[in-house]
């Protein structure tokens, strides 16, 4: 849970991304309840309608399911759906800026590939 | 309740405090009413609460006009930045008077808040400090449970902790029972996350009305080299631009994603900054 939200970005997106991260990281597992709109609103001092918008998008994407009178729960397939979704945006969000910066710094392709592999080697040790 | 503002104009001699303003506030939301000094915010709130008459145009609340309409004004509570209460009344008498006037008055909440803000029921209003008087206004506004509750800079003299408490309780009360809350403030950074919709007045006209989160999504600050930025912003509505050392930053109506796809650096614009740029530009034009 982040301490506070970033005023520069739509709040509902931040609520949404935060829940997504928690599900991907396994902090909240399928079948578990997620905080309600009002709990988010009270925690971050945000308008409840804004929090609801983020949560409702996750319901539409079948990440969350609403059980009447009980609350919102993580669906069975949530983690799988999210990982697929994040993979699709991985290129845009991480590869493009990486290549852009490499171009600025005149890093050659072979050099760049070496760096990628260097990180892997460090991980294995 | 639905508030319809139709061609609202208020003129003081040759000065237009409001000039042909029209918009509709539909349903219980927290609205942020923003603008520079003298933009017409207080005039609007005075007309809305039935305290003064418009020179032209009107405000209709569920089809009725608020002026001289007690049945309607029982549903409206306006708390201003000061002089809300008669100086010689004691705190407990102020609460009593308002509890008679507002049919949905919540005495339990009033008692709780009196304790929270440490007010003495037997003090006279004139002996209260500025902060204490503001606290009393906030207590009355929240406890009135009026379907239309209006706060016009209600926190003069309140310290940061007491203001934070106020925002928290307001949010709690709003969650428990939705109502129209119109909040006019200059401390935008403190409360902007609470707004569902934002209205900006400038020199008597409405310059913007937008869902707060849409606003965060539809404007951004892009920076890059002058050519890059100029190419990106051509044909877009530009709020403000500045340049330094061959680099340029422009505030435009565009999404961050779009700017990033053009390889530009893009950031969101906080509502406070947006308000400043929007109202500055208006003046220059």
Q: Are the C-beta atoms of residues B107 and B98 closer than 8 Å to each other?
A: no
Does the beta-carbon distance from B172 to A42 stay under 8 Å?
yes
3-state secondary structure of A38: helix
Task: Indicate the residue of A8, A42, A53 with minimum beta-carbon distance to B268.
Answer: A8
Which backbone phi and psi does B141 adopt, to 5 degrees? -60, -45
Q: What is the mean pLDDT of residues B62-79?
A: 94
B249 CB neighbours in chain A (<8 A) are none
Task: Indicate the residue of A12, A45, A49 with minimum beta-carbon distance to B168.
Answer: A45
**pLDDT tens digits, one per residue of B125-156:** 999 999 999 999 999 999 999 999 999 999 98
**pLDDT tens digits, one per residue of A7-64:** 778 899 999 999 999 999 999 999 999 999 989 998 999 999 999 999 999 999 999 9
Is the per-residue pLDDT at B285 higher than 70?
Answer: no
The complex's ipTM works out to 0.73
3-state secondary structure of A46: coil
| pLDDT averaged over every residue in chain B | 92
Task: Indicate the residue of A5, A13, A38 with minimum beta-carbon distance to B193.
Answer: A5
Q: What is the mean pLDDT of residues B48-63?
A: 95
- Structure-token match 């578990």, residue found: A32
Check if A50 contacts B (Cβ < 8 Å): yes
Neighbours of B63 (CB within 10 A): 7
pLDDT in the model for residue B282: 54
H or E stretch including B46? helix B41-48
How far apart CA B216 and CA B220 sit, in angstroms, is 8
Comparing alpha-carbon positions, the chain B residue that sits nearest to A13 is B213
Question: Residue A115: how many CA atoms within 13 Å on its side-chain side?
Answer: 9
Chain A nearest-CA distance from B218, in A, is 9
A44 CB neighbours in chain B (<8 A) are 193
Go through the domains of chain B in sequence order and give each one's CATH number.
Answer: 2-203 (3.40.50.300), 214-284 (3.30.70)
pLDDT in the model for residue B284: 45
Counts for chain B of helices (H) and strands (E), in that order: 11, 13
**pLDDT tens digits, one per residue of A15-31:** 999 999 999 999 999 99
Is the per-residue pLDDT at B281 higher than 70?
Answer: no
**pLDDT tens digits, one per residue of B97-132:** 999 999 999 999 999 999 999 999 999 999 999 999
Of B146, B134, B29, the residue nearest B81 (C-alpha): B134
How far apart CA B96 and CA B118 sit, in angstroms, is 18
Q: What is the mean pLDDT of residues B54-62?
A: 95
Does the beta-carbon distance from B196 to A49 stay under 8 Å?
yes
**DSSP H helical ranges for B77-225:** 91-101, 107-116, 130-143, 160-176, 188-191, 212-218
């Amino acid at each position: 849970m982040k301490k506070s939200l970033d005023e520069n970005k739509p709040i509902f997106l931040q609520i949404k991304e935060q829940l997504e991260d928690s599900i991907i990281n396994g902090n909240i597992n399928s079948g578990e309840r997620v905080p309600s709109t009002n709990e988010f609103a009270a925690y971050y001092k945000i308008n409840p309608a804004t929090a609801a918008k983020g949560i409702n998008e996750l319901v539409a994407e079948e990440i969350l399911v609403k059980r009447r009178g009980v609350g919102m729960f993580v669906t069975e397939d949530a983690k799988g759906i999210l990982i697929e979704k994040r993979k699709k945006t991985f290129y845009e969000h991480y590869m493009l800026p990486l290549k852009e910066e490499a171009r600025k710094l005149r890093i050659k392709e072979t050099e760049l590939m070496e760096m990628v592999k260097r990180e892997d080697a460090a991980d294995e040790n | 309740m639905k508030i319809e503002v139709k061609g609202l104009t208020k003129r003081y001699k040759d000065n237009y405090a409001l000039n042909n303003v029209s918009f509709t506030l539909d349903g219980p939301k927290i609205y942020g009413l923003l603008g520079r000094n003298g933009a017409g915010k207080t005039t609007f709130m005075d007309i809305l609460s039935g305290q003064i008459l418009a020179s032209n145009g009107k405000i209709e609340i569920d089809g009725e006009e608020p002026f001289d309409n007690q049945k309607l004004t029982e549903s409206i509570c306006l708390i201003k930045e000061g002089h809300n209460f008669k100086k010689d009344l004691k705190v407990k008498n102020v609460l009593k008077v308002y509890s008679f006037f507002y049919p949905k008055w919540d005495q339990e909440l009033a008692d709780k808040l009196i304790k929270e803000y440490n007010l003495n029921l037997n003090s006279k209003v004139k002996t209260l400090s500025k902060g204490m008087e503001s606290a009393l206004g906030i207590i009355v506004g929240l406890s009135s449970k009026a379907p239309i509750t209006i706060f016009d800079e209600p926190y003069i003299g309140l310290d940061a902790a007491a203001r934070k408490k106020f925002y928290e309780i307001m949010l709690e009360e709003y969650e428990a029972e939705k109502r129209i809350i119109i909040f006019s403030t200059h401390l935008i950074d403190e409360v902007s996350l609470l707004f569902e919709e934002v209205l900006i007045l400038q020199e008597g006209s409405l310059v913007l009305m937008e869902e707060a989160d849409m606003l965060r999504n539809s404007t951004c600050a892009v920076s890059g080299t002058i050519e890059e930025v100029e190419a990106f912003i051509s044909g877009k509505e530009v709020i403000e631009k500045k340049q330094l050392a061959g680099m340029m930053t422009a505030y435009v109506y565009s999404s961050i994603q779009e700017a990033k796809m053009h390889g530009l650096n893009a950031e969101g614009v906080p509502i406070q900054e947006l308000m400043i740029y929007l109202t500055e530009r208006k003046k220059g034009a």
